[in-house]
Structure 1
Amino acid sequence: MTRTMPSRRATIADVASHAGVSRATVSRVMNGLSTVEPAIADRVRAAASALSYRPSETARNLSLGRTHTVAVVVPDLGNPMFQAILRGVTRAAAEDGYRVLVGDTQEMTSTEMDAAIEARRRCDALVLCAPRMDDDRLAQVVGATAPLALVNRVIADEGVPQVAMDYGQAIGLIIDHLEGLGHRHLVYLGGPTASASNRLRIAALDSAEERHPELRIDRLTVGAALDDGWASADRVLESDATAVVAYNDLVALGLLSRLRELGVGVPARLSVVGVDDIPYARFSDPTLTTVSVPQDELGAAVWERLHEAMAGGAPRGPLWLEGTLQARESSGPPPR
């Protein structure tokens, strides 16, 4: 019985031999460079067509210094907020033929700078999501990794694409909501001290106290995770506040869990409000009052601006996105 061997895939050397040119000339034509005479370029393309030659995309990208990959570095991939932003970037980038490489610094500020620079070396561009590093280190990263874009960290360099959630506006919505319910003593469970968005929240609290002189807002630094909220319960109860403003939904949900264990009624004894409206917020017991953040839109917007910068487009100023209050079961009037 005669076996038919599969035909060998044509190589760049086959095309060069068929067209009577060097492999370098074939490479330049396949990469769309204009340094080859039109008649020779036509001959190369005809040879490639006759041989059904398909250039290796990987080799082509390497020859052009491109990977069609963008790095996204986040401080905590376990946070659903960052997962949603990553999803938005990934979907938008895929529409333009780009893949995403993900880096998680696990809230380790000391390694964040090196992680960002190393990720950029492997990719065509970089998205830094809520970087925790100080301004000096961030300036070094900006200088070493362009093109890059920033999420939830705004700097003075308007040449850098920047998209951020207006957490000051979000906190304003929460304070007005709680003040309207009759609360006069609140406690804020703050996030990482290196977080720029935490600083925006604290500035908004200061403004709220100026707008509402009758308000007292205590401030505790706890963190950004479920465990941090759970561990804060005793200090919250010792404060005698009637409402809690949590740094994010994870902290709020952790606190709710511990309060339930302690038999503390929410909102009968204590109202609890978060920020971000992560998927779990609608399914907690009680359901969590929070501020909804346009997470997917944030990721898509940062990719749009970064892609423009990669193509040499003129930079635009920072884009600030606003949230919407989602009043649910975890907030109510203070106890009488």
Structure 2
Amino acid sequence: MNIIDKISLIAEKDDLNKRIDVFLASELDYTRSYLKKLILEGLVIVNGSIIKPNYKLKENDVVNVTIPEAEKIDIIPENIPLDIIYEDNDIIVVNKPKGMVVHPAPGNYSGTLVNALLYHCKNLSGINGELRPGIVHRLDKDTSGVMVVAKNDKAHINLSNQIKERTILKKYIAIVEGVIKDDEGKIEAPIGRHPIDRKKMAITNDGRYALTLYKVLERYKNNSFIEATIKTGRTHQIRVHMAYIGHPIVGDEVYGFKKQKFNLLGQALHSRLLGLIHPAKNIYMEFEAPIPYYFEKLINILKNK
């Protein structure tokens, strides 16, 4: 059997007693029926053992999923410019541009951050499989900003543990619809796959715990400029949470208004700051990505309205 990808996940406290197929469907971009097929074929391993689709998770269960190849993969290193914030033998920190996909996926094997990294770096960690070398965490295609990538497996494990323990600091900035009255607040609502549209996320009762803190930096006539700090790293977390409280992100065509006033080609969301313990040096480091031009342009438009 040829393998397309290997994915490793760790069950958290709020995943306790969830069926394995439900858990995987909430985490991965595959249907529940396809994931059940993988389980029955012995391609889902929990703590080193083959399990059944009705297996119920325990906290800290290590779940390894093998995705068999559906088509031949050839991830080619590409000479795509990288905005490198910091680099050493263990990590590389980049400022990902808006519009760039982080890693290859079926039907999209070129032009990604991984293609660029493979050209720039001789070695990247292999823990997350062939399609996601070095990728410890992701940013959405149209979210710009700071990201850390692991150059070796030891660094990858260390950074993954920091993410799991929620000790990594992640601060974003966003322009949202409407004027938020409170200067700051928190959104605590579980996020899972949308029950109908599997490409979307939603607030669901059986979703995973998610916490977003926000504060208003500036108010405009019909919009607010905010800073959001995420304490958990759920897919589309800030986008889903801000939409949930009635203030979706400007430009977000998935969770935001159907009619967008500004031609942004994606949400006005930027990963501004990332703070972590260096996996080898064992010192705290912070990395910042400057506000991109498209973001500053939008702020100037709103200020002059």
Same fold by TM-score greater than 0.5: no
Instruction: Return the TM-score normalized by structure 2.
Output: 0.27
Instruction: Return the TM-score normalized by structure 1.
Output: 0.25
Which structure dedicates a bigger proportion of its chain to strand?
A: 2
Which structure dedicates a bigger proportion of its chain to helix?
A: 1
**Larger Rg over CA atoms:** 1
